[in-house]
Amino acid sequence: MLDLKFIRENPHIVAQAIKDKQEKVDFSQFLDLDEQRRNFLQELEFKRRQLNQLSSSMAKFKKQGEPTDQIHHQLKDLSQEIKQIELNYKKVYDQWEKLYHFIPNIPEQDTPLGSSEQDNKTIKIWGEVEKSKEGLDYHQVCEKLHLVNWQSASIISQSSFPLYLGDGARLEMALIMFMLDLHQKHQYTQVFPPFLINRDSMFGTGQLPKMEEDSYVIEKDDLFLNPTAEVPVTNLFKGQIIPEQKLPVKLSAFTTCFRREAGSYGKETKGLLRMHQFNKVELVHLVKPEDGFNSLEQLLSQAELVLQQLKLPYRVRMLCRGDMTFASALTYDLEVWAPISKKFLEVSSVSYFKDFQARRIGLKYQPENGAKQFIHTLNGSALATPRTMIAILEHYQQEDNTVMIPEVLLPYFSGQKVINSSEQ
């Protein structure tokens, strides 16, 4: 959420941000409603003041045993009048608020213009992007080694939900544990949050209202299935004021993530590439505003470290304004190289939100000297497992199509060195 005063004083900046981010909110209507709303509000407050004053005379008269009939009538009329103005105000307010909640964060100045992922800017390539490797692509390996069974999954659940089997399941869990252990070395506090999230928290990090259609909802309880650990973890200190000495707060969390992926059916949905359920380790930072950009670089490098330790080549891209999420001001994507599919696959998004989320969440800090301020929030996946697994299955694939286990994952395989077929 943007500061209202900022919006009023810099309407052109906000309008440009909406355009650049390809958001659909009607901003001129918003400004119009904002003015209407304030006019009603002033009228309302004036009448309320009158009511308060008259009402305290009423109390005085009553206490002194004086007649109150006349004042009672006045109060009754005034009260009716106020209720009418309140109705008008509420009507405008509701429309205004709806639009307000759809105003996105403002992209940083040095983010590239553009409307789709093709306009994202590659800023770094790490490792050797091997283009001649032959073998089975990730989907074929999964089938051959029986690492994931989609048919069984759909018997139990529905299509696009994974069921990992045998070494597939072990690889998945090994990845998660490896990542958590790695972040532990960098002074992250590990969080294992609930997977059902209330509406307020979904709003806080900016998933709602925009992404409601993409979320799984338990209607009976008005709870949402966790779409990313960003939501429960960033909301952990909701409504609190954190003393400056406690910053930065650095949290890591494993969660299973659930997304409807509405409207993304097609070729891309095959196998592990896009699923309704996947696992992810997420890093979250809560920092002082002046530390934001350093923190962003730190997050990025810690996400990169996961791929470096797995010895998987990747590139870093800075997202263009049209490809960035609603709440983000600056986002880097990490894309791992899948050498047999010959594609870069997004395994991480590292984002800086400035105070956009903190404003929604009510998350401030108290400097040692000076006034309370909103915290700046950041997060980054480090990493989402499915595409990391894809890269491993292709990168470490041997001539017989079995897969060598990456060195850093060996401690989680109790002596086993190669991923084999789960079918005995």
Measured from the CB atom, is 241 or 262 closer to RNA?
241
Measured from the CB atom, is 49 or 417 closer to RNA?
49
Closest distance between RNA and the C-beta of residue 72, in Å? Answer: 6
Give the total residue count for the chain. Answer: 424
Closest distance between RNA and the C-beta of residue 50, in Å? Answer: 8
Closest distance between RNA and the C-beta of residue 42, in Å? Answer: 5
Closest distance between RNA and the C-beta of residue 231, in Å? Answer: 17
What's the rounded Cα separation, in Å, for the pair 108 and 115?
Answer: 16
Task: Compute the radius of gyration of the chain from its Cα atoms.
Answer: 27
- 124 is a site residue for RNA (CB under 7 A): no
Measured from the CB atom, is 53 or 264 closer to RNA?
53
Whether the bond between 209 and the residue before it is cis, its omega within 30 degrees of 0, is yes
- 55 is a site residue for RNA (CB under 7 A): yes
Measured from the CB atom, is 99 or 410 closer to RNA?
99
**b/e map of 334-346 (b: 16 or more CB within 10 Å)?**
bbbbbbbbebbbb
Measured from the CB atom, is 178 or 365 closer to RNA?
365
Among 9, 66, 76, 122, indicate the residue that binds RNA (CB under 7 A): 76
- 4 is a site residue for RNA (CB under 7 A): yes
Among 31, 32, 72, 346, indicate the residue that binds RNA (CB under 7 A): 72
Cβ contacts of 395 within 8 Å, gap of 6 or more: 311, 312, 313, 337, 338, 339
- 213 is a site residue for RNA (CB under 7 A): no
Of 176, 178, 130, 124, nearest to 386 by C-alpha is 176
Residue 67 in tokens: 């007649």
* 392 contacts 312 by C-beta, under 8 angstroms: yes
Measured from the CB atom, is 156 or 371 closer to RNA?
371
Of 202, 180, 388, nearest to 278 by C-alpha is 388
- 297 is a site residue for RNA (CB under 7 A): no
Q: Near RNA by CB under 7 A, which window of 76-84, 145-153, 189-197, 284-292?
A: 76-84
- 91 is a site residue for RNA (CB under 7 A): no
Q: Near RNA by CB under 7 A, which window of 10-18, 59-67, 276-284, 314-322?
A: 59-67
Residue 357 in tokens: 């989320």
Among 12, 24, 28, 52, indicate the residue that binds RNA (CB under 7 A): 52
* 123 contacts 301 by C-beta, under 8 angstroms: no
- 236 is a site residue for RNA (CB under 7 A): no
Measured from the CB atom, is 42 or 122 closer to RNA?
42
- 98 is a site residue for RNA (CB under 7 A): no
Q: Near RNA by CB under 7 A, which window of 71-79, 246-254, 304-312, 382-390?
A: 71-79
The neighbour count for residue 137, using CB atoms within 10 Å, is 18
Amino acid residing at 214? D
Of 158, 147, 234, nearest to 191 by C-alpha is 234
What's the rounded Cα separation, in Å, for the pair 218 and 222?
Answer: 6
Closest distance between RNA and the C-beta of residue 342, in Å? Answer: 46
Question: Binders of RNA among 366-395, rule CB under 7 A?
Answer: 372
- 79 is a site residue for RNA (CB under 7 A): yes
First to last CA, the chain: 55
The count of residues interacting with RNA (CB under 7 A) is: 25
* 142 contacts 148 by C-beta, under 8 angstroms: yes
What's the rounded Cα separation, in Å, for the pair 307 and 350?
Answer: 14
Among 9, 19, 59, 246, indicate the residue that binds RNA (CB under 7 A): 59
* 380 contacts 350 by C-beta, under 8 angstroms: yes
- Exposed (0-12), middle (13-18) or buried (19+): which is 44, by Cβ within 10 Å? middle
Amino acid residing at 35? E
Closest distance between RNA and the C-beta of residue 208, in Å? Answer: 16
- 246 is a site residue for RNA (CB under 7 A): no
- 84 is a site residue for RNA (CB under 7 A): no
- 130 is a site residue for RNA (CB under 7 A): no
The contact mask relative to RNA for 31-50 (x = CB under 7 A, - = no) is -------x--xx-xxx-xx-
Measured from the CB atom, is 93 or 161 closer to RNA?
93
Cβ contacts of 424 within 8 Å, gap of 6 or more: none
Across 236-329, the runs of DSSP E, i.e. the strands, are: 241-243, 249-258, 277-287, 314-318
- 51 is a site residue for RNA (CB under 7 A): yes
CA 398 to chain centre: 37
- 62 is a site residue for RNA (CB under 7 A): yes
Residues contributing to the site for RNA (CB under 7 A): 4-5, 38, 41-42, 44-46, 48-49, 51-53, 55-56, 58-59, 62-63, 72, 75-76, 78-79, 372
